[in-house]
Amino acid sequence: MPNHKSAWKQLRQNEKRRMQNKKHKSFLRKTVKDFRAVEDPARSKEELPSVVSAIDKSAKKGIIHHRKAARLKSRLARKTA
């Protein structure tokens, strides 16, 4: 356990950040999973921009790596084509 006041603050900040990242990452996983479950190609083309936006936001925040984001977007785009 931390011994200094600043270390306690850092512990609180880290926990808060961890929970926010966890929330965003699980939202992203659910979004991608739901998109992959769509069978109708026309509907998947409509939903693609919102999924790509969620992926880009995650990469920008550092929740996922930018190359993973590019790989996900590429694979999802191929599914709609």
- pLDDT tens, 35-46? 999 988 888 899
28 Cβ partners below 8 Å, 6+ apart?
Answer: 54, 55, 58, 63, 64
Domain ranges of the chain: 5-80
Q: What is the pLDDT of residue 7?
A: 96
* Residue ranges for the chain with pLDDT beneath 70: none
Is domain 5-80 classified as CATH 1.20.58.110?
yes
Q: What is the pLDDT of residue 41?
A: 85
Answer yes or no: are the C-beta atoms of 52 and 41 closer than 8 Å.
no
- DSSP state, 36? H
Q: What is the pLDDT of residue 10?
A: 97
Q: What is the pLDDT of residue 28?
A: 97
Q: What is the pTM of this model?
A: 0.86
